[in-house]
Amino acid sequence: MPKEKVCVHCKRFVEGDVCPACKTSEFTRRWEGMVIVIDPDSEIAKTLEINAPGKYAISIIK
Ligand SMILES: [Zn+2]
């Protein structure tokens, strides 16, 4: 099963052709880990520099 695609800029999981946050279409399927952020003020969100709720990859493999 292919991995879902992730925006290379904000690490958000994107289902369409354009990242709703960055308005770009630069995606990767090479990522590791997944986090669902409900509260952008939480410690994990701050650590990962996430400022909006959503589903994010923890790291992108370069
Ligand atoms: Zn993005």
- Ligand 1 centroid distance, CA of 40 (Å): 16
For domain 6-60, the CATH architecture is Single Sheet (2.20)
Q: Is the pLDDT of residue 3 over 70?
A: yes
- Ligand 1 centroid distance, CA of 62 (Å): 16
8 A C-beta contact, residue 37 and residue 56: yes
- Ligand 1 centroid distance, CA of 30 (Å): 15
pLDDT digits 0-9 by tens, 4-62:
999 999 999 999 999 999 999 999 999 999 999 999 999 999 999 999 999 999 999 98
- Ligand 1 centroid distance, CA of 1 (Å): 23
How far is residue 32 from each of residues 6, 21, 47, 51, measured CA to CA in Å?
10, 20, 16, 20
**What are the sequence ranges of the domains in the chain?**
6-60
CA distance 35 to 4: 14
- Ligand 1 centroid distance, CA of 25 (Å): 8
Q: Which residues contact 32 (CB under 8 A, 6 or more apart)?
A: 57, 58, 59, 60, 61
Instruction: Write down the pTM of the prediction.
Output: 0.86
What is the pLDDT, as a whole number, of residue 17?
96
